[in-house]
């Protein structure tokens, strides 16, 4: 436990040069479409990482993380446009709004088990989406902009978002690595393996689950806020789209749930491949996505990191 992080796994050493490379990349003339694409990869790695922090470690499947992505987007948009606040402060405050909201939703729903927690979070996300969609019409005054959404102030240069998304990706990976070694992380894994036994051995299960849920939700909210300003235009059907939830889940699952590097591998690979397929097969794209999801589940249920780990175990046994 007291070993330094880098000693525990050689992969962490490789991250230092990769980090330096990523920080200096825009200085070497990376721009335009490629810069945008890499920023997008960062965003998905961060989002999948946030989902993994909660669901990958605790085993509680959050099926509504998109709620906080959307709320974060709308908060940032409203704070910037109606409150006139600077961008970074708005993102920070959006994170806090999501923290409060997720605490309020998490406390009752985290008492539910298995399928019911997943359905409850899904329902919460859809309910929030409908409220945002219908608010203006029912309340009778312009606030969320209904189905037309909101427009944000013009965005700063692309490289600005590159660094912000890089920051959030680094933050997510770092937090997950810390979590793996902390008492908090052990508590989460104890909940995943045997919740009742954990509760009986004095692990405050509800508080630990709530902490993980609030942490992951508030980060997702911040990222949502950043994306809102990046795209400068948000509509409920996009920022609350259930596909975003599915993407976070499938990326984490593909890389390996409950591992710090799983979401990194899964999200980078799947973002790039879906960008390629999306450009190449505009109409059949979603059919491919569906087939890929099914094949991953049937053939690689443990994810890539799980498969690597199994092989490591085997080679250790052999030597």
Residue environment code for 73-111, b if the CB has 16+ CB neighbours within 10 A, otherwise e: bbbbbbbbeeeebebeebbbbbbebbbebbeebbeebbe
- Residues 292 and 277: their CA atoms lie apart, in Å, by 12
- Residues 158 and 165: their CA atoms lie apart, in Å, by 11
- Among 13, 116, 167, 233, contact with other proteins (rule: CB under 8 A): 116
Query: In the bound complex, what is the minimum distance in angstroms from residue 268's beta carbon to other proteins?
Result: 19
Query: In the bound complex, what is the minimum distance in angstroms from residue 253's beta carbon to other proteins?
Result: 7
- 194 binding other proteins? (CB under 8 A): no
- Among 33, 298, 315, 318, contact with other proteins (rule: CB under 8 A): 298
- Residues 127 and 129: their CA atoms lie apart, in Å, by 5
- Which among 22-30, 105-113, 194-202, 224-232 is the span making contact with other proteins, rule CB under 8 A? 105-113
- 66 binding other proteins? (CB under 8 A): no
Sort strands 233-234 and 150-151 into parallel, antiparallel or unpaired: antiparallel
CA 191, 192, 193: angle at the middle one, nearest 5? 95
Query: In the bound complex, what is the minimum distance in angstroms from residue 220's beta carbon to other proteins?
Result: 18
Is the Cβ–Cβ distance between 270 and 254 less than 8 Å? yes
Instruction: Give whichever of 64 and 225 is closer to other proteins, judged by the CB atom.
Output: 64
Is the Cβ–Cβ distance between 214 and 102 less than 8 Å? yes
- 61 binding other proteins? (CB under 8 A): yes
- Among 5, 293, 300, 307, contact with other proteins (rule: CB under 8 A): 293
- Residues 262 and 56: their CA atoms lie apart, in Å, by 10
Instruction: Give whichever of 50 and 61 is closer to other proteins, judged by the CB atom.
Output: 61
- 99 binding other proteins? (CB under 8 A): no
Contacting residues toward other proteins, per CB under 8 A: 55, 59, 61, 63, 108-109, 111-116, 118-120, 122-124, 126-127, 130-131, 133-134, 137-138, 242, 246, 249-250, 253, 257, 283-284, 286-287, 289-294, 296-298, 301
């Amino acid at each position: 436990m007291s070993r330094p992080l880098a000693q525990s796994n050689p992969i962490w050493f490789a991250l230092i040069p990769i980090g330096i490379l990523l920080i200096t990349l825009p200085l070497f003339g990376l721009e335009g479409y490629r810069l945008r694409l890499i920023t997008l990869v960062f965003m998905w790695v961060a989002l999948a990482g946030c989902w993994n922090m909660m669901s990958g470690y605790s085993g509680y499947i959050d099926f509504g993380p998109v709620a906080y992505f959307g709320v974060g987007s709308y908060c940032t948009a409203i704070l910037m446009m109606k409150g006139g606040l600077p961008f970074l402060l708005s993102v920070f405050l959006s994170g806090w709004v999501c923290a409060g909201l997720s605490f309020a939703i998490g406390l009752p729903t985290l008492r539910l088990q298995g399928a019911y927690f997943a359905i409850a979070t899904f329902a919460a996300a859809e309910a929030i989406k409908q409220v945002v969609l219908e608010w203006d019409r029912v309340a009778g005054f312009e606030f969320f902009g209904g189905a037309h959404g909101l427009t944000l102030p013009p965005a700063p240069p692309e490289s600005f978002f590159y660094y912000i998304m890089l920051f959030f990706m680094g933050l997510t990976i770092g937090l997950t690595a810390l979590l793996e070694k902390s008492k908090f992380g052990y508590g989460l894994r104890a909940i995943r393996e045997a919740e009742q036994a954990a509760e009986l051995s004095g692990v405050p299960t509800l508080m630990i689950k709530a902490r993980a849920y609030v942490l992951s939700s508030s980060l997702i909210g911040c990222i949502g806020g950043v994306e809102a300003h990046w795209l400068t235009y948000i509509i409920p059907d996009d920022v609350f789209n259930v596909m975003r939830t599915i993407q976070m889940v499938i990326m984490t699952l593909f890389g390996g749930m409950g591992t710090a590097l799983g979401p990194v591998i899964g999200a980078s690979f799947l973002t790039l491949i879906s960008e390629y397929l999306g450009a190449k097969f505009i109409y059949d794209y979603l059919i491919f996505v569906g087939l890929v999801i099914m094949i991953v589940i049937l053939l690689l249920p443990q994810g890539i990191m799980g498969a690597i780990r199994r092989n490591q175990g085997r080679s250790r046994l052999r030597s």
